[in-house]
Amino acid sequence: MAAKGRKQPPVRPDPLSEAAARRHELTRAKAVQALRELDRAGTPVTFAGVAQAARISRSWLYTQPDISDQIRRLREKTDSAGSASAIPADQRATDASLRARLTAALDRSKHLADENARLRRQLARALGDQRSARIRSGNDPGC
């Protein structure tokens, strides 16, 4: 029986559990770092690629829901982007910049179509004037 008023000694954490927790956190940090570097470099993000870059096991990656979800998301983004996977993440175009480029291209296309129509009218007028001048001078081969 414990004596009244006597304090219990503090429970010391298990050194093996502490080491396992440190090893787990170190492994997570390596996986996240590898994942970011692969994405930043434009390299396709796969379980095998992350495992190899981080020097960890693929099976461990599958047991980490947040990391495996992120790998799947990046893999799907890369698959759907097609050739965009070869472009590093920080160099990929944003939606806003793509919209701005599209707007500029549409404006340029409209400007060129308007100029083309104006030039066609000018040419038609010039050809009409030329034909009228030939008819007046009696040099029209069509008569």
- Written as tens digits, the pLDDT of the chain (143 aa) is 555 667 777 777 788 889 999 999 999 999 999 999 998 888 889 999 999 999 999 999 999 999 999 999 988 876 665 555 556 666 777 888 889 999 999 999 999 999 999 999 999 999 999 999 888 887 766 65
CB 116 within 8 A of CB 122: no
Provide the whole-model pTM: 0.47
CB 67 within 8 A of CB 53: no
How far is it, in rounded angstroms, from Cα 19 to Cα 21? 5
Pinpoint the alpha helices (H) of the chain: 15-41, 47-54, 58-62, 65-81, 95-137
